[in-house]
Structure 1
């Protein structure tokens, strides 16, 4: 959806994601051939299945209107991407919109490498705090300014076998896990489940990489009210 003429491109979409979002960083240029449509340069680091999904979204946006065209560039994930993004922004040659992890926003925004979102315009387009959980929406703010609008998030969820947990006596009257108020109580519950299953009472994760371990540690650490 294109912004009105009185709204600059930099004000229409600005920021970086939570977990991943988009940021407008530079000026738009017209398309070759003398068309009036503007080109939005879009950098992202999505490959694999998420890259296919993003390509489909971009194709849909380009096909839905003729005011502008989104032109994506896919770069290598990690430090090479963020180094190029910072250097391009500092040198005045940044893409119009880009994706970054929310943890990076606090390093980019104070240096003037990102603009703020126009929250009033976003609300007109149906994007506001009601669209997200409170924690994800607030993650995009630095002070009173919104720099980041999340494309996705990576929550940890707890799944349990209701038959085994029922046999272990750890379900409430609604068939859900009883509330746990301490680590000791959680371990006691896991031991009861292990006894009922005659095997493991608790397992973690679907990926054994360092990023998953870090996310879990960071989650538990900050639940104590601590900050990194």
Structure 2
């Protein structure tokens, strides 16, 4: 008789002389938003992906790269090279894409163009605000706004404002605008018809008053002509 060994994800069925393996797709991964920057951090884009391969392909297409050799964490340069580690990343994690020959550099690393003996004067930042506008989907109308505030270089507060409903709100505003314009047009059309009827009624009254006077004038003319003929 066949024996079954069942787990949450894989079912193994063993039969004398054969073995089959069936992978169950019970858990479906949900796409997560990521922010990907280039090596010099001059370009940052928001991309939705559910697996590592999908993210690499979308990054290559979005940034017009011939081939992305590696993805690392922008914070500390940790390489994102396995699917298991990729699935543990939180939403809106900042990644850096590297091409062949490029290496990760920390945020406060000195520029290559400056001489090594040139030292910067130490300074103390009181407050620093960073605004990051990105889109999780290219079809998004406005996108998302991430505001990050740093006080004295030690305390950091961030807020992520997602404007997913802005497009639907704009549609409702346009729909009500069109409805109000149509209603205004119907009111103006009805008012013009009513005014036209009033004017026609006044003209009819004036004509009805003018007819008796014309008939009297004709009667007087006929009487005068009759007397002259005699």
TM-score where L is the length of structure 2: 0.22
More strand by share: 2
More helix by share: 1
Q: Which has the larger radius of gyration?
A: 2
TM-score where L is the length of structure 1: 0.22
Bigger RCO (CA 8 Å, 6+ sep) = 1
